Amino acid sequence: MSETAQQDSVRPWRLADWFVRHGRMLVIGLPMLWLGIFFLAPFFVVFKISVSELAIARPPYLPLTSWEDGKLILTLNLGNFQYLIEDSLYVSSYLTSIRIAFFSTIFALLLGYPMAYVIARSTGHRRNILLMLVMLPFWTSFLLRVYAWIGILKANGVINNFLMWTGVIDSPIVMMQTDFATYVGIVYTYLPFMILPLYANLAKLDTTLLEASSDLGARPLTTFLTITLPLSIPGIVAGSMLVFIPAIGEFVVPTLLGGPDTLMIGRVLWSEFFNNRDWPVASAVAMAMLVLLVLPVMWLRRAQSQQEAG
Amino acid sequence: MTSKPSPAQDNPWQSDNVKPFIRIRNVTKKFGPVAAVDDVSLDIYKGELFCLLGGSGSGKSTLLRMLAGFEEPTAGSIEIDGQDMAHVPAYERPTNMMFQSYALFPHMSVERNVAYGLHRDNVAKGEIRQRVADMLELVQLSGYGRRKPNQLSGGQRQRVALARALIKRPKLLLLDEPLGALDKKLREETQFELVTIQETLGVTFIVVTHDQEEAMTLSTRIGVMNNGKIEQVGEPREIYEFPGNRFVADFIGSVNMFEGIVTETEADFVRIRSKDADCDIYVSHGVGCAPNQKLWYALRPEKMEISRERPDQKENFFEGIVEDIAYMGNQSAYRIRLKSGMVVRLTRTNRDRGEETPITWEETVFVSWGPSAGVVLIA
């Protein structure tokens, strides 16, 4: 090969080299940029508001920095957080949120696990139809579906009418504006988020493991408890996270279906923002919730990755 | 010359008064309209290492799965140790299986995998520990008990699977392609280990394999399966030297198949005229056949002589041209084209080191064989 030909062939290779070296950065960089703009930046805005002071202004809080006598003064008002602890309303609504989210997750798991199991065990056409049925509700607006539940649960709704007609009850059962209705709404709404990761996990399960277990003398229940269940833990964790985390901050369901005493943190946040126009406290509520959620999730992820490694 | 090897009295399958350990009677398994196993009857005796040999889709794995209890026969019965296995679920059968994929529980350590069967039977903790340690020693895996399956090599996983299947001291061990996932060298070593373990423990083994060499090395007897049926059952030597039909002759080892017409049939000899072989074939024992009947003569490549000189006999030789030679060290393989157009495969042991003028390409040669070298096949 001649000298010039070799030099010519260098140029296009340089570009390729650049991609090889920086392609990784490019691929990772785009989502990072996205997260930076749409997650991290708003996060800092909320954080800033949470440590600022309430003011009757527009926006309704004071700036963090001020200029006095040639000094730049940074005022961090931690009073909003202190207020969260002092006023029992916040603590109790956090606890209510966690309780409702926790039990909703348990119910969704108990309902979703058998459903995911059946879908994973069925084949071909049947499996597709069942998966479709799980995802079908997403084609209707979430708000509409929650309203539909009002029609089902209210005093002269579908359930009460049916029970009265059959003569099981004389007067309607009060279901609307109770914790029960909140649970129904949340479990109903988030069930697909439990089923899909569980299904993805259970569908991967190697059925010869179940045969091996049976072959070694395990009855079906023992096989489930010693093989299927432990191997599906990643699916259980993923599904539970996808239900638990949004359920804690859920606003629509407790507002529409829950009673006045179902104080979940999402509702408190809303009324702080829009009824009291107390943005700093509302932001403090949001920050506290984030910390409350992120810490256990991070701990779980760490435990999971350690388990996978070991 | 007899047609079959003389029966040795110590083999249970040749004795009339030994009860078979496993009786498979007219077992059929249908998946939809397709019969994966078609009316199979088979007796297997205690202490045997029985190989089910066949290609993919021959029904050998389905038969094994029916023995394990993972599939119910559509028709027929299976008896293990005198007990009818109909409606006995897998977890209550006196069998254990070693899976082709090993099916080790990925979330359990080697020890817990091996102990799994004992835990299910509520064996005392101390005894479990002892038996697991003994078993790991038997399969040469002491010291690996704490590892997870994904920290082991293929050969080690294979031995964990074997240990797990043997720990309950099953009456019958079913092995599905036990050596299939190992490389050639490891496979050869493990073959002998498997036989040693089988002899030490005295467990009856049924091995499913598609590898005829493996079947030959391992087994006391082989059942050759094809299209859901058993074509022939016999000792490895019997299957190789006295195949019962063309499928078996062709499936086991390599063979040259000549079609021919019976010209003479007597009690102690048969003469066949074959267009394929371009000569008369003389067989020095009687065959149940009629004159002018069409049949096949199967001749293994190593049972023939190759030479430049015309042999001094009237039959059992033909002339051909060397089309191809493959030198393989210990032996050479020749492909010889006959006048009929047929290509015959022939192997010869390389006995001399410095052959001065070896037979070479395009040379005309004579191929001959003895009167008892080949097998007459009616079907």
B67-99: per-residue pLDDT in tens? Answer: 999 999 999 999 999 999 989 999 999 999 999
Residue A8 confidence (pLDDT) above 70: no
Instruction: Record the tokens describing residue B53, joined without a space.
Output: 């040999």
Cis preceding-peptide flag for B94 (omega within 30 of 0): no
ipTM for this prediction: 0.84
Mean pLDDT of A41-63: 89
Cα(B204)–Cα(B48) distance, integer angstroms: 5
Instruction: Record the tokens describing residue A308, joined without a space.
Output: 């996978």
Q: Which residue of A has its CA nearest to B148?
A: A310
The pLDDT, as a whole number, for residue B290 is 82
Across chain A, where does the E strand assignment appear? Answer: 65-68, 71-74
3-class SS string, A84-105: HHHCHHHHHHHHHHHHHHHHHH
The pLDDT, as a whole number, for residue B1 is 38
CA distance B28 to chain A (A): 21
The pLDDT, as a whole number, for residue A194 is 96
Cα(A37)–Cα(B97) distance, integer angstroms: 57
Pick A222's closest partner by Cβ from B99, B105, B120. Answer: B120
CA distance B101 to chain A (A): 8
Cα(B228)–Cα(B28) distance, integer angstroms: 8
Residue A304 confidence (pLDDT) above 80: no
Query: Comparing A25 with B106, which gets the higher pLDDT?
Result: B106
Cα(B197)–Cα(B134) distance, integer angstroms: 13
Mean pLDDT of B216-231: 93
For chain A, domains (ranges, CATH) are 3-74 (no CATH), 80-309 (1.10.3720.10)
Pick B120's closest partner by Cβ from A206, A217, A231. Answer: A217
The pLDDT, as a whole number, for residue B184 is 83
Taking the Cβ of residue A229 and every Cβ of chain B, the question of whether any pair is shorter than 8 Å is answered with no
> Could you report the per-residue pLDDT of A19-51, keeping only the tens digit for each?
777 888 888 888 999 999 999 999 999 999 999
> Could you report the per-residue pLDDT of A215-261, keeping only the tens digit for each?
999 999 999 999 999 999 999 999 998 999 889 888 899 989 988 87
Rg (CA), chain A: 27
Q: What angle do CA B70, B71, B77 make, to 5 degrees?
A: 120
pLDDT tier, B226 (very low <50, low <70, confident <90, very high otherwise): very high
Taking the Cβ of residue A170 and every Cβ of chain B, the question of whether any pair is shorter than 8 Å is answered with no
Taking the Cβ of residue B171 and every Cβ of chain A, the question of whether any pair is shorter than 8 Å is answered with no
Q: How many CB pairs under 8 A join A and B?
A: 59
pTM for the full model? 0.82
CA distance A252 to chain B (A): 41
The pLDDT, as a whole number, for residue B2 is 40
